[in-house]
């Protein structure tokens, strides 16, 4: 950043000295500032901007899976059927999707109720089950 400021100063002075170069220097300065201006550091006012409204709607199956279920289901923690592994999932799918929904929502042995997403609605959990099942056939 310090070097950037020096560079900025040099360009600025050069622009003042050579009148014909002013326009170019300003363009350069704007171009150099753009990426800096569009970066939002934590703690800055822009970082506190409210999240987009869309994020408040129901989470997709993929979102729920990526935030919660992947913790156990990507590596098969405690015997969890691995997502993407059809051999793990075939016998589960054989029980019927309604049973899988019920077990995902209410818990099943080491499978915690709602996959530990206490704030997830039934539909969001079902979406995550669908997502895992679809990717594990």
Interaction site with ligand HEC (CB under 6 A): 64, 68-69, 71-73, 77-81, 92, 95, 99-100, 103-104, 108-112, 114-117, 125, 128-129
CB 128 within 8 A of CB 73: no
The distance of closest approach from Cβ of residue 53 to ligand HEC in the complex, given in angstroms and rounded to an integer, is: 24
Closest by CA to 136, choosing from 100, 99, 98, is: 100
Token code pair at residue 33: 């500032």
Nearest residue (CB) to ligand HEC, 15 versus 128 = 128
Q: Are 104 and 80 in contact (CB under 8 A)?
A: no
CB of 51 to ligand HEC, least distance (A): 21
- Reduce the secondary structure of 58-127 to three states and give it as a string: CCCHHHHHHHHHHHHHCCCHHHCCCCCCHHHHHHHHCCCHHHHHHHHHHCECCECHHHHCCCCCHHHHHH
Q: Which is nearer to ligand HEC, 21 or 133 (CB)?
A: 133
Q: How far is the CB of 87 from ligand HEC (least distance, A)?
A: 14
Task: Provide, rounded to whole angstroms, the least separation between the CB of residue 116 and ligand HEC.
Answer: 5
């Amino acid at each position: 950043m310090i070097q950037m400021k020096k560079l900025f100063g040099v360009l600025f002075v050069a622009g003042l000295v050579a009148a014909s170069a002013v326009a170019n220097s300003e363009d350069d300065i704007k171009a150099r500032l753009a990426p800096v201006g569009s970066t939002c550091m934590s703690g800055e006012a822009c970082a506190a901007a409210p999240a987009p409204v869309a994020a408040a709607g129901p989470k997709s199956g993929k979102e729920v899976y990526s935030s919660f279920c992947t913790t156990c289901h990507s590596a098969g923690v405690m015997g969890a059927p691995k997502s993407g592994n059809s051999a793990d999932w075939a016998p589960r799918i054989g029980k019927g999707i309604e049973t899988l929904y019920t077990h995902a929502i209410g818990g099943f042995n080491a499978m915690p109720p709602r996959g530990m997403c206490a704030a997830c609605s039934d539909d969001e959990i079902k979406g995550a089950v669908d997502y895992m099942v679809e990717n594990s056939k």
